């Protein structure tokens, strides 16, 4: 009989909402009416990039593997970040970069220190590689508790995971805190910057001084390429050389790479999308914050964390799904909260009115 390896006997896998089609069937709404506000993706579809790609498809050598070094894309990332192409590792989304880090530095007998609540894949990737996940609670204001993080570090610590801006709280980690952790910890310090474009704050200026810092980014958020699955890691060249030892040779397709290269040549357009999203985030946060009983956490990402003081977040979540709005219920992580992705203006306005209406019903005894 096939069985899971023993180190995963009590393993809790990644969880997500059902597909739009499943939700539509369950609640009797049309699939095209579903608004995904649970995935933290961009509402802007890169149609021009897709049309450009479509014109090139007949001549693309899909019968061959892509350049295993991903040199052209790494050079695009180099131009974007101002770092050497030799300081760039490419992966199938930021998730593969996280897994590559764990494969390189974690094993049975080692541990990963993780500032929580945060992106659950840090813990998942660590435990898949048979390491212990040491979870350190953030401070009440959402900032990383640097002293407790460092207290959790010992000679067997193989990695420390930070997320900036943090998912799901939207809080950034200061350069001072990252520098202190990197200076005192004898292991890699991973800073997930999946939402960097929305905050404009990055730890890349520390890479030249701290070879143990690894910054991970993705094209799934601000660059609108979640479905293409492209991410990258930035680190000192010596660290990238280590990561390349365990990196799969061909995890990206030439089609994904072509889209990624196009995206990196259209950064000005991406910046306009980001500016529009940030403006919408502020408007939506201000509007929701005026609804009695809901506290909106200040965010530097493309999502908002809503804490329900007088309502049941789980019931609100269910009622929103009935109306076609899918949010992320974080009740198992942060009590009575929903995470809401900032969508396009029309969808945001409709979401606000729907939420406002549901809460009024809730005040009447939901």
Q: What is the pLDDT of residues 77-135, one digit of tens each?
A: 999 999 999 999 999 999 999 999 999 999 999 999 999 999 999 999 999 999 999 99
Pick the more confident residue, 4 or 320. Answer: 320
Q: Same domain for 179 and 284?
A: no
Q: Is the pLDDT of residue 1 over 80?
A: no
Q: Same domain for 348 and 261?
A: no
Q: Same domain for 244 and 333?
A: no
- What's the pLDDT score for residue 7? 80
Q: Point out the domain boundary residue: 226, 242, 265.
A: 265
Q: Point out the domain boundary residue: 265, 280, 303.
A: 265
Q: pLDDT tens for residues 39-91?
A: 999 999 999 999 999 999 999 999 999 999 999 999 999 999 999 999 999 99
- What's the pLDDT score for residue 2? 74
Predicted confidence band at 363 (pLDDT cuts at 50, 70, 90)?
Answer: low
Angle at alpha carbon of residue 201, lines to 198 and 203, rounded to 5°: 135
Give the rounded distance of the alpha carbon of 205 from its chain centre.
Answer: 21
Predicted confidence band at 32 (pLDDT cuts at 50, 70, 90)?
Answer: confident
- What's the pLDDT score for residue 6? 80
Q: Same domain for 83 and 218?
A: yes
Q: Report how far apart the first and last C-alpha atoms of the chain are (Å, whole number).
A: 47
Is the residue at 153 inside a domain?
yes
Report residue 133 as tokens.
Answer: 């996940």
Region 166-184 average pLDDT = 98
Q: Is the pLDDT of residue 364 over 70?
A: no
In the block, which residue shows the tokens 């006997």? 9
Measured CA to CA in angstroms, residue 219 lies from 159, 222, 260, 317 at distances of 24, 7, 7, 28
Pick the more confident residue, 20 or 9. Answer: 20
Report residue 270 as tokens.
Answer: 């991406």
Q: Same domain for 297 and 187?
A: no
Q: Point out the domain boundary residue: 245, 265, 285.
A: 265
Q: Same domain for 175 and 140?
A: yes
| Length of the chain counted residue by residue | 366
Is the residue at 4 inside a domain?
no
SS3 assignment, position 298: coil
Going by C-alpha positions, the residue among 210, 158, 165, 161 that lies closest to residue 190 is: 161
Give the rounded distance of the alpha carbon of 152 from its chain centre.
Answer: 24
Range of the structural domain that residue 23 is part of = 15-40+268-363
What percentage of the chain exceeds 70 in pLDDT? 98
Q: Is the pLDDT of residue 12 over 90?
A: no
Q: Same domain for 35 and 61?
A: no
- The C-alpha atoms of residue 33 and residue 59 are separated, in whole angstroms, by 36
Is the residue at 198 inside a domain?
yes
Q: Same domain for 118 and 20?
A: no
Q: Same domain for 237 and 102?
A: yes
Sequence-distant (6+) residues with CB within 8 A of 151 are none
E strands, the chain, in order: 35-36, 88-91, 111-116, 132-137, 157-163, 189-192, 213-218, 231-234, 294-297, 303-308, 325-326, 328-329, 337-341
Predicted confidence band at 14 (pLDDT cuts at 50, 70, 90)?
Answer: confident
Considering its fold, how many domains does the chain have in total? 2
Lowest mean pLDDT across 46-55, 89-98, 293-302, 353-362: 353-362
Q: Same domain for 290 and 152?
A: no
Is the residue at 5 inside a domain?
no
Secondary structure letter of residue 255 according to DSSP: H
Is the residue at 303 inside a domain?
yes
Is the residue at 298 inside a domain?
yes
- The C-alpha atoms of residue 40 and residue 140 are separated, in whole angstroms, by 23
Q: pLDDT tens for residues 236-290?
A: 999 999 999 999 999 999 999 999 999 999 999 999 999 999 999 999 999 999 9
- The C-alpha atoms of residue 218 and residue 89 are separated, in whole angstroms, by 12
Q: Is the pLDDT of residue 136 over 70?
A: yes
- Domain with residue 340: its CATH number is 3.90.1150.10
Q: Is the pLDDT of residue 365 over 70?
A: no
Q: Same domain for 248 and 348?
A: no
Q: Is the pLDDT of residue 172 over 80?
A: yes
């Amino acid at each position: 009989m096939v069985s899971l390896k023993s180190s995963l006997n009590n393993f809790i896998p990644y969880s997500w909402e059902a597909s739009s089609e499943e939700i539509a069937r369950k609640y009797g709404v049309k699939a095209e009416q579903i608004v995904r506000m649970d995935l933290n993706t961009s509402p802007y579809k890169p149609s021009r990039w897709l049309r450009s790609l479509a014109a090139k498809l007949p001549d693309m050598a899909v019968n061959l593997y892509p350049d295993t070094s991903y040199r052209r894309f790494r050079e695009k990332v180099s131009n974007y970040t101002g770092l050497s192409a030799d300081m760039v590792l490419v992966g199938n989304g930021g998730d593969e970069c996280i897994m590559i880090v764990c494969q390189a530095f974690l094993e049975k007998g080692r541990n990963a220190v993780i500032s929580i609540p945060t992106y659950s894949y840090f813990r998942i990737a660590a435990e898949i590689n048979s390491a212990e996940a040491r979870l350190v609670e953030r401070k009440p204001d959402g900032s990383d508790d640097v002293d407790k993080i460092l207290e959790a570090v010992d000679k067997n610590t193989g990695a420390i995971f930070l997320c900036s801006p943090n998912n799901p709280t939207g809080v950034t980690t200061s350069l001072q805190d990252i520098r202190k952790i990197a200076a005192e910890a004898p292991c890699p310090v991973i800073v997930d910057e999946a939402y960097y474009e929305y905050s404009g704050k990055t730890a890349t200026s520390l890479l030249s001084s701290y070879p143990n810092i690894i910054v991970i980014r993705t094209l799934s958020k601000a660059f609108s390429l979640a479905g293409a699955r492209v991410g990258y890691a930035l680190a000192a060249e010596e660290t990238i050389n280590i990561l390349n030892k365990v990196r799969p040779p061909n995890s990206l397709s030439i089609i994904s790479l072509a889209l990624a290269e196009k995206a990196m040549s259209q950064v000005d357009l991406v910046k306009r999308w980001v500016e529009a999203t940030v403006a919408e985030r502020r408007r939506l946060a201000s509007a929701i914050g005026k609804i009695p009983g809901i506290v909106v956490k200040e965010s530097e990402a493309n999502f908002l964390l809503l804490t329900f003081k007088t309502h049941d977040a789980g019931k609100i979540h269910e009622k929103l799904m009935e109306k076609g709005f899918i949010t992320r219920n974080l009740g198992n992580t942060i009590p009575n909260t929903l995470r809401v992705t900032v969508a396009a203006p029309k969808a945001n306005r409709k979401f606000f009115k729907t939420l406002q209406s549901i809460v009024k019903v809730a005040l009447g005894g939901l």
